[in-house]
Structure 1
Amino acid sequence: MKTITSLSILALFLISCTDKNANAPALASPTLPVLNIAYSTATTATEYPVAIQGKTDVEIRAQVSGTLDQIFIDEGAYVKQGQPLFKINDNSYRQEYNNAQASLNAAEAAAINAQMEVDKLTPLVQNKVVSEYQLKTAQSNLSIAKANVARSNAILANARINLDYTLIKAPVNGYIGRFPRRQGSLISPLDPEALTRLSDTKEVYAYFSLGENDFISFKSLTEGKTITDKLKSLPPVDLVLSDNSVYSESGKIDMVDGQFDKTTGAITLRAKFPNTNGLLKSGNTGKVKISMEHENTIVIPQEATIEIQDKLFVFLLNEKNAATRQPIVISGKSGSNYLVKEGIKIGDRIVLKGFESLPDGATIIPENSTKPVAKL
């Protein structure tokens, strides 16, 4: 009897619970902010690693062999074109020059004697005092003497060049680099390492590379029919230094290489920056920052997206306010916003935030519609 009574009470309890669950209200739809998609204008900034070189960046090398006798300047000094830098011991070269000068003097004297012989024989042949054969022989000797003079002049000029090479001068204005060789060192044109480097850094060149896809995008987004026209229409670029500070003066992209590198598949561009204060040096590193303005594009906040397996999604609303995940493709970033290339269009509505735990297809209550992303 007690068993039957217990079963009856349990049945009544289960029925009561079932009735309560049946009468429980459904979960309310969440109220979330919504973004209306419209065209906007945004500026994107892309950075590329650069290698900086002086406008002129040359190696200073010896052109004759010898002992380094004198160094006229110090490392890091600013020099002007034609200023002496190094002096190679010139004793042997000066001796060669003196010998060449003496040989030239002898050849010129022989030429004078040969000319005198021709002048002497000419009237005698005309008067038939001597044979014409003697005159022709004298004329031949004169030609040989003149050839010897020309050869001696060439030898003397070469000796003069070698003697001049013993004084090494600055080919351009610029800053001197380090000296791997010191006074007393034996130097040669075949040395693997230069005496120093000379850089003209009043202007510097920042070289950077674009991959093929980036270069195609660069061409399509820049006005102009030719590369020259596109370069002229480009806005100034900034230089971000290795400490992430921005160089004080803007530069201009002024060169695109004529072909892609077969090894890397990239093409080189050059930006030119003024450097009147000499703050930048050859060998500096950094990044060139290219800013591009995009008009009539779709811009959405990054917080309105969710990343799943390397793909970006937004929650797109239909006319019944049901939110479904929609994949999008972006064309760039502008601050904390994405520029959307594909996936949504003008007039669409997306959930702005609060969708982290929102099931796909769930219905929401739109909060006061958020205005489109402001012009950036």
Structure 2
Amino acid sequence: MQSYSGLLALLSTIILASCSAHSEKKQESAPTLPVIQLTQQDATLDHDYASNLEAVQNVEVRARVAGYLDKILVDEGKPVHKGQLLFQLNPTEYQVEVDRAQSSLESAMAQAESAEVEMGRVKLLVTKNVISPSELKLAKSKLETARAGINGARSALNKARFHVSLTSIRAPFDGVINRLPFKRGSLIEEGALLTTLSDLREMYAYFNVSEKEYLSFIKKRLDPEKTTVREVDLLLADDSPYPYKGKIETTETVFEGNSGTIAFRATFPNPKRLLRHGATGKIRLETDVDDAILVPQRAVFEVQDKNFVYVVDASNKVRSRSFIPSSRVDQFYIVQSGLKPGDRIVYEGIQSLKDGMRIVPKALPAKRLQALYASAR
């Protein structure tokens, strides 16, 4: 019996020693992770919006009369000037109309001249009481009819000449020629699209913002102390920055029902014609936030559409805590509720953490912390 009691004591000692060693090993294996302390600060955050680019003028150049395409005097992608001849349709059949109308006008003028002579003769005979006054009325009516014929013939001649002029298609403004769908000799119907012409000296960039962002912008614009035009940056399709800044000039008047957004229009100079009609890009707006609590996106994980961070307590144990962001801009969340200044959160390495784990907190180096928040300014 004494031997059995001694054995139990030995086993208890071994178990306690093993647990103690395991505890010490676990304590020694606590991971060292970077930690940041949340503070309130003023920040300028970048927000990107998808945008569509349009030329300030982009019009379809169409044939206003039918005919064979005799000449194409421009090429795709080439600049043209206002009034420059672009296309020439065969004017022969319209010139025939001009000649016919010219003959009709000359005939009408001859008839009017004859009617005028006849009226003078009738008037003399009426004066001598050779014929009745009713003959004079008839002669005046014939003269008025002849004169009306002149006006009609002259109108037809002007119309025929106008049709001839429409066979020469000219540029309505300075711009760049786009695609040419027809070749020389093609039979062109009235209204056929010959090309489109784009004025690329300036470009419009359209982008949609939420109602909340719209109200923020409008309130600042109405502030008498902030009367300057809002400048914006443009990122091209390859995410490279466009070298010229744009200015927000106007907004649409109606919110889109499905998305709840409204379109803004910014204008960008385009001196090198780099931007083209129909291209895409991203408008980058700077948003000023006062006394904001910024949480790096890297420190956040999501569970069932909720946002969490690991908060480090006084004993260096971590606990997950949910928070509600007011917005997400670039690489940061702006905290609405759930976190406060002074909270310490794990910045990196959150994938392997669990509630109650002890860590060895390592404050993020000052230079790195400054660089982190500088990216939000």
Identical pairs, percent:
34
1:219 equivalent in alignment to 2:214: yes
TM (norm. structure 2) is 0.82
Q: Would the alpha carbon gap of residues 40 and 265 (structure 1) be closer, same or farther in structure 2, given more than 3 Å must change? A: closer
Question: Quick one: which of 340, 343, 348 aligns to 1:349?
Answer: 343
Which of 302, 305, 308 is the matching residue for 1:310? 305
Give the residue type in structure 1 aligned to 2:165.
D
- Secondary structure of the residue that 2:146 maps to in structure 1? helix
Counterparts of 1:40-189 in structure 2 under 5 Å? Answer: 40-189=41-190
Within 2, Cα distance between the matches of 1:47 and 1:122?
Answer: 88
Deviation track 1:101-155 (CA, whole Å, cap 9, x = no partner) reads: 1111111222222233333333543554421111111111122112212211221
Q: Give the match for residue 200 of structure 2.
A: 201
Q: What letter matches 1:198 in structure 2?
A: L
Aligned residues: 366
In structure 2, runs of 5+ residues without a counterpart are none
**1:235/1:291 contact within 8 Å kept:** no
What amino acid does structure 2 have at the position aligned with 1:267?
I
Higher mean alpha-carbon deviation, 358-367 vs 235-244, is at 358-367
Q: Which residue of 2 aligns with 1:276?
A: 271
Moved more, 100-109 or 113-122: 113-122
**Aligned equivalents of 2:226, 2:93: Cα separation in 1:** 55
Q: Deviations over 1:27-56 (max 9, x none)?
A: 879798765543212222222232222211
Q: Deviations over 1:241-271 (max 9, x none)?
A: 1222111111112232222445766533322
Aligned to 1:258: 253
User: How far 1:23 moved relative to its partner?
Assistant: 8.2
**Quick one: which of 286, 291, 298 aligns to 2:293?**
298
Distance 1:226 1:33 in 2: 42
Amino acid at match of 2:196: R
More displaced stretch, 167-176 vs 326-335: 326-335
| Contact kept in structure 1, 2:211 and 2:260, CA below 8 Å | no
Give distance in 2, aligned partners of 1:8 and 1:151: 135
TM-aligned CA deviation for residue 182 of structure 1: 0.9
Gaps of 5+ in 1: none
| Equivalent residues in 2 for 1:22-37, closer than 5 Å | 35-37=36-38
Q: 1:76: Cα distance to partner?
A: 1.9
| 1:10 aligned residue (4, 7, 21) | 7
- Report the TM-score, using the length of structure 1 for normalisation: 0.82
The one-character-per-residue Cα deviations of 1:60-80 (angstroms, maximum 9, x if unpaired) are: 111111111111222222111
Does the 8 Å contact 1:223/1:229 carry over to 2?
no
SS in 2 for 1:12: helix
Structure 1 residue 368: Cα displacement: 7.5
User: Larger deviation: 123-132 or 170-179?
Assistant: 123-132
State the secondary structure of the residue aligned to 1:222.
helix
Change (3 A) 1:103 1:284: same
Q: Are the equivalent residues in 1 in contact too, given 2:47–2:330 (CA < 8 A)?
A: no
Deviates more, 1:296-305 or 1:271-280: 296-305
Alpha-carbon distance in structure 1 between the residues aligned to 2:258 and 2:116: 67
* RMSD of aligned residue pairs (Cα, Å): 3.6
Taking a change above 3 Å as real, the CA distance of residues 287 and 124 of structure 1, as seen in their structure-2 partners, is: same
Structure 1: which amino acid aligns with 2:345? Answer: V
